[in-house]
Amino acid sequence: MFFLDQAWLVPLIPAISFVVILLFGKRMPRQGSEVGVVAVGASFLLSCGAVVRWILRVHDAEGGSALGAFGRSIGRIGADHAEVPVLPVLHHVTWFQNGGVRLTAGIQIDGLAVVMMFVVTLISLLVHVYSLEYMRGDRRFTYFYAALSLFTASMLLLVVADNTLQLLVGWELVGVCSFMLIGHWWEEKPNSDAALKAFLTTRTGDIGLLTGVIMTFFIVQRATGVGSFNIVALNQAVSDPSSKVGHTLILWCAAALMLAIVGKSGQFPLHTWLPDAMAGPTPVSALIHAATMVVAGVYLGARVYPVFFHGFSIGDGGVNPMAAIGGITVIVGALLAFVQDDIKKVLAYSTISQLGYMVMALGVGAWTAAVFHLFTHAFFKADLFLGAGSVSHSGSHHSFDMKTDMGGLKKYMPQTYKTFVIGTLALAGIFPLAGFWSKDEILVNAGHNNYKLFLVIGLVGAFMTAAYMTRCVYLTFHGEYRGGHEPHAIPHVDEAEHDPIDTPASVEHDAEVHPPHESNRLLTGPLWVLSFFAVFAGFLNFPHFSRFEKWFQPRYPAGFAEILHPVAFNPILATVSVLIAGAGIGIASAYYLGKLPQGLSERNAIARAGKRFLVNKYYLDYVYENVIVAGIKGPISTGVYWFNQNVIDNVLNYTGRGAQALGRATYEYVDQKGVDGLVNGIATLTGESGGEVRKIQTGRLQFYALVLVAAVVIFAGVLWIST
């Protein structure tokens, strides 16, 4: 099975592309972008092949014919799939060995891996194509494509990993790529600030990953006697009820890895970096900060799910840290999305909220629902981000401010409008678009697994999602066009405006020259592809048909398979959730069409305070930046340095001064009487340190050198003679 066994090619091809673009990109006719597009295209084809082969493998394991895997109709499938194990394809090579510790690099190709490979390569490919136009004329165009390639390679390395250490490596590398790409226009300080903030915040979570990964090694060691980072072995070790691994160790490991998820997947309270990360170019936001890198945390949760399941006792119902953090993030993110004027920040907070859904799903025992939501969300959120990029590129003169530069764009940009609305409806969970199916699956699982609280949170979140996205669509595409005035400087979001000389595209699109217009096909093409998936991807898990679950849910090791309990579709809940989302859209539309009382926050003190609280992002950034970071940069660091200079160093200085005084005393009282030449030497030395500057002249240096060389020669001579 070429596509499964050779899946290591999928990350390797973009990695080679990175090197080629970095070294030769500038000299190529299209400045290296062609290499990137071709490489990611090849990876995409290989991933498609892997998906197909994996589906065939699942079916083969069940003993059916190859054709049947696609053609078999509803009925007997959902019932009997759990019993047949489908082994992942595993290959590894030794990276290096140290004592008993063997570190490997390898691939673990199973349902989860092929789904992720497909998502990552497809969206990366679309973003590569989109950027051909969007980034045209950028002053670091080649560099941009090199970074995209490296990112794709690192993300795929993470996805195919068969061990937690390799996962850690990929995880760090995507973090660095994200850092480089957020700060792509580092001439403006806000951009490099945002990049630094993103990197440092996610790295705070990496403390957890580093210690958690080390713990996975010892979990496997306790269970089997042989330490290993292998993921299959880890899942086996924690799932086996007779295993010797204590619950405490699993709990600590789960807690450490949870910190990593919180950092990387923008969970409360470390989510604050993600909105700032919107300072990067929009294609980067779509690829890294919506569809792929930020879901690495969710992927980690899904990959080593038994650790969380047993560590946090998810099977017991009630409240556990994972579900709680996810649930809080759903609401926290959605609330903030209401008060944003920047379209990308609305989408960023929406991403935070949706990531909250995924983590919450993992926390309530809904593995399949979490992965399925990850899958569908990637398409419609990338669609929305690229749509926002299209608006700024052709409609709002490179601004992202909905209130000052957008409005009424529906008639100028019909295709962008349509795809954006499709993405919005999918995100809001309107039947029968992709988001409906995946969100509904999370809700029904939460209800079934005795997590009623999180079912309610999910429904409230669905209402808010529908409402803030309606606000966003209204402000951007409906009403009167508010742009067309002199573009004002909002440096950290004004793309391509940085250097008009370098960017002919921006000159061409200048406000006075052109009214808003539709973007060209390089931009709308990817939008339509993503819209297609936003509409249809959900049908993969149509009730009773449940292909997604059948194909991609892990059935090995046995302990892993046992903790996954797919729950039947609940038509009543589905109807309720669609009605709630519809209500969200309806109320928001009514508000913006002027049919509801306006200006609540101007009249009501409580509403005003609430809004201020939201506009200030719960003051979390204030705490992080002005208290913690400023503390470390300022008082703490200064204090420690003061201690360094005045306490530790003074011991030396006083000793030095003492020695100097002693030397002077000796000089005056002992040397003056002409006793000791050695003491004289010490006094000279201390005198020098006291600041009596005497130039060391070349001659004198050479004299010292001569003495030393002579010493060496004598030394060698003595050696020679004595042997």
Q: Which of residues 221-280 bind other proteins (CB under 8 A)?
A: 221, 225-228, 232
Tell me whether residue 207 or residue 609 sits nearer to other proteins (CB atom): 207
Distance between CA atoms of residues 638 and 393, nearest Å: 46
User: 384: part of which helix (H) or strand (E)?
Assistant: helix 367-394
Per CB under 8 A, which of residues 323..352 are in contact with other proteins?
none
Tell me whether residue 204 or residue 601 sits nearer to other proteins (CB atom): 204
Q: Smallest distance from the beta carbon of 28 to other proteins, in angstroms?
A: 18
Helix (H, G, I), strand (E, B) or coil at 541: helix
Query: Which residue of 51, 58, 148, 168 would you call a contact of other proteins, by CB under 8 A?
Result: 168
Distance between CA atoms of residues 123 and 287, nearest Å: 6
Q: How many residues form the binding site for other proteins (CB under 8 A)?
A: 87
Which residues, 6 or more positions from 49, have their beta carbon under 8 angstroms from its beta carbon?
A: 2, 3
Query: Which residue of 79, 605, 606, 719 would you call a contact of other proteins, by CB under 8 A?
Result: 719
Neighbours of 244 (CB within 10 A): 11
Tokens representing 708 are 């030393």
Per CB under 8 A, which of residues 3..22 are in contact with other proteins?
4-5
Tell me whether residue 318 or residue 635 sits nearer to other proteins (CB atom): 635
Distance between CA atoms of residues 113 and 496, nearest Å: 36
Q: Smallest distance from the beta carbon of 101 to other proteins, in angstroms?
A: 6
Tell me whether residue 626 or residue 689 sits nearer to other proteins (CB atom): 689
Given the structure tokens 């990067």, which residue do they identify? 280
From the number of C-beta atoms within 10 Å of its C-beta (0-12, 13-18, 19+), residue 411 rates as exposed
Per CB under 8 A, which of residues 632..671 are in contact with other proteins?
632-634, 636-638, 640-641, 644, 648-649, 652, 656, 659
Neighbours of 200 (CB within 10 A): 15
Per CB under 8 A, which of residues 183..212 are in contact with other proteins?
183, 186-189, 192-193, 196, 199-200, 203-204, 206-207, 210-211
Q: What is the gyration radius of the CA atoms in the chain, in angstroms?
A: 31
Please identify, among the stretches 2-10, 130-138, 591-599, 664-672, the one whose residues bind other proteins according to the rule CB under 8 A: 2-10
Tell me whether residue 167 or residue 443 sits nearer to other proteins (CB atom): 167
Distance between CA atoms of residues 220 and 238, nearest Å: 8
Query: Which residue of 38, 67, 101, 609 would you call a contact of other proteins, by CB under 8 A?
Result: 101
Please identify, among the stretches 282-290, 396-404, 598-606, 681-689, the one whose residues bind other proteins according to the rule CB under 8 A: 681-689
Tell me whether residue 307 or residue 434 sits nearer to other proteins (CB atom): 307
Please identify, among the stretches 166-174, 360-368, 393-401, 533-541, the one whose residues bind other proteins according to the rule CB under 8 A: 166-174
Q: Smallest distance from the beta carbon of 15 to other proteins, in angstroms?
A: 10
Per CB under 8 A, which of residues 468..497 are in contact with other proteins?
none
Q: Smallest distance from the beta carbon of 203 to other proteins, in angstroms?
A: 5
Helix (H, G, I), strand (E, B) or coil at 676: coil
Tell me whether residue 96 or residue 572 sits nearer to other proteins (CB atom): 96
Q: Smallest distance from the beta carbon of 646 to other proteins, in angstroms?
A: 11
> Are the beta carbons of 265 and 357 closer than 8 angstroms?
no
Q: Which residues on neighbouring strands pair with residue 163, listed in sequence order?
A: 230
Tell me whether residue 513 or residue 647 sits nearer to other proteins (CB atom): 647
Q: Smallest distance from the beta carbon of 331 to other proteins, in angstroms?
A: 29
Q: Smallest distance from the beta carbon of 576 to other proteins, in angstroms?
A: 42
> Are the beta carbons of 607 and 615 closer than 8 angstroms?
no
Per CB under 8 A, which of residues 531..590 are in contact with other proteins?
556
Per CB under 8 A, which of residues 76..95 are in contact with other proteins?
87-92, 95
Per CB under 8 A, which of residues 688..717 are in contact with other proteins?
688-689, 691, 693, 696, 698, 701-702, 704-706, 708-709, 712-713, 716
> Closest Cα to residue 329, out of 357, 294, 368, 290?
357
> Are the beta carbons of 337 and 428 closer than 8 angstroms?
no
Tokens representing 167 are 């996962």
Q: Smallest distance from the beta carbon of 144 to other proteins, in angstroms?
A: 14
For residue 564, CA distances in Å to 116, 547, 552 come to: 19, 15, 12
Q: Smallest distance from the beta carbon of 454 to other proteins, in angstroms?
A: 30
> Closest Cα to residue 561, out of 118, 51, 61?
61
Go through 599-637 and write b for each residue having 16 or more CB atoms within 10 A of its CB, e for each that does not: eebeeeeeeeeebeebeebeeebeebeeeeeeeeeeeee
Q: Smallest distance from the beta carbon of 288 to other proteins, in angstroms?
A: 17
Q: Is 616 in the site for other proteins (CB under 8 A)?
A: no
> Are the beta carbons of 264 and 325 closer than 8 angstroms?
no
Tell me whether residue 338 or residue 556 sits nearer to other proteins (CB atom): 556
Tokens representing 213 are 């990964």
For residue 573, CA distances in Å to 319, 437, 723 come to: 22, 12, 95
**Beta pairing class for 89-98 and 101-109:** antiparallel
Distance between CA atoms of residues 534 and 381, nearest Å: 9
